[in-house]
A = this chain, B = another copy of it.
Amino acid sequence: MADAASGNLDALFAPRSIALVGASDDAARIGGRPLRYLRASGYQGRVYPVNPKRETVQGQRAWPSIGALPEVPDLALLAVPAAATRAAVEDCVAKGVKAAIIFAAGFAEMGEEGRDEQARIVAVARAGGLRLLGPNCLGAADSSIGYYGTFSVMLDDGFLEPGPVAIVSQSGAYGSHIAQLARNRGLGIRHWITTGNECDVDMAEALRWVIDREGVKVVMAYAEGVRNRALFFEALDLARRRGIAVVLLKVGRSEVGAHAVGSHTAALAGADNVFDAICRQYGVHRARSTAEQLDIAYAIARAGLPRGNRLGIFSMSGGLGIQMADDGDEAGLAVTPMPDDAQAELKALLPYASPANPIDATAQAMTDLPLMTRYIQVVLEQGDYDIFVAILGTTPALPSYSARLAEALDAAGPGGEGLIRAVTMSAPPEVVRAYEARGFLVFEDSVALTRALGAVARFAESFAAARAERPPLPALPVPLAATGTLSERAAKQVLAEAGMSFPDERLAATPEDAAAAADAIGYPVVVKICSPDIAHKTEVGGVVVNLGDAAAVRDASGLVLDRARAAMPDAVIEGVLVAPMIAGGVEVIAGVSIDATLGPVVMFGLGGVLVEVLRDVTFRAVPFDADEARRMIAETTAGKVLQGVRGAAPADVDALAESLAALSRFAAANDGRLAGVDINPLKVMPAGEGVVPLDALVLLQA
Which residues of A line the B interface, CB within 8 A?
105-106, 110, 154, 156-157, 169-174, 176-177, 180-181, 184, 222, 224, 249, 251-257, 260-261, 263-265, 288-292, 316-323, 325-330, 335, 352, 354, 356-358, 360, 363, 393-394, 397-398, 426, 444-448, 609-610, 612-614, 637, 640-641, 645-646
Which residue of B is nearest A251, CB measured? Answer: B322
Q: Other than the known A176-B393, A180-B426, A257-B325, what 7 A-B pairs have Cβ atoms closer than 8 Å?
A: A157-B397, A254-B329, A256-B357, A264-B319, A289-B446, A289-B447, A613-B645
* Copies of this protein in the complex: 2
Q: 5 nearest interchain CB pairs?
A: A173-B317, A171-B319, A254-B329, A289-B447, A257-B326
Tell me the complex Cα distance, A614–B636, Å: 11
Bound complex: CA A260 to CA B322 (Å): 6
Q: Is the CB of A319 within 8 A of B251?
A: yes
**Bound form: Cα–Cα A169–B320 in Å:** 12
9 contacts between A and B (CB under 8 A): A169-B319, A173-B393, A176-B394, A252-B326, A253-B329, A254-B328, A260-B321, A264-B360, A289-B446
CB distance from A474 to the nearest CB of B (A): 33
CB-CB nearest in chain B for A269:
B322
- Least CB distance from A8 to B in Å reads 26
Q: Output the least CB separation between A328 and chain B (Å).
A: 8
Q: B residues within 8 A CB of A641?
A: 609-610, 613
B177 and A288 within 8 A (CB):
no
Contacting residues, chain B, for A325 (C-beta < 8 A) = 251, 254, 256-257, 260
CB distance from A281 to the nearest CB of B (A): 22
- Give Cα A327–Cα B360 distance, bound, in whole angstroms: 36
With both beta carbons as reference points, the residue of chain B lying nearest to A393 in the complex is identified as B177
Q: Do the beta carbons of B612 and A260 come within 8 Å of each other?
A: no
Contacting residue for A326 out of B171, B251, B360, B614, CB 8 A = B251
Alpha-carbon distance between A320 and B172 when the two chains are bound, in angstroms: 10
Report chain B residues within 8 Å CB of A169: 319
Contacts of A357 in B (CB 8 A): 256
A358–B256 Cα distance when bound, in Å, is: 9
Q: How far is the CB of A229 from chain B (nearest CB, A)?
A: 21
Closest B residue to A257 by beta carbon equals B326
CB-CB under 8 A from A184, the residues of chain B are 426
Nearest chain B CB to A444 CB, angstrom units? 7
Cβ–Cβ contact B265 & A318, under 8 A: yes
Check B426 against A170 for contact (C-beta < 8 Å).
Answer: no
Q: Which of B173, B249, B320 contacts A316 (CB 8 A)?
A: B173
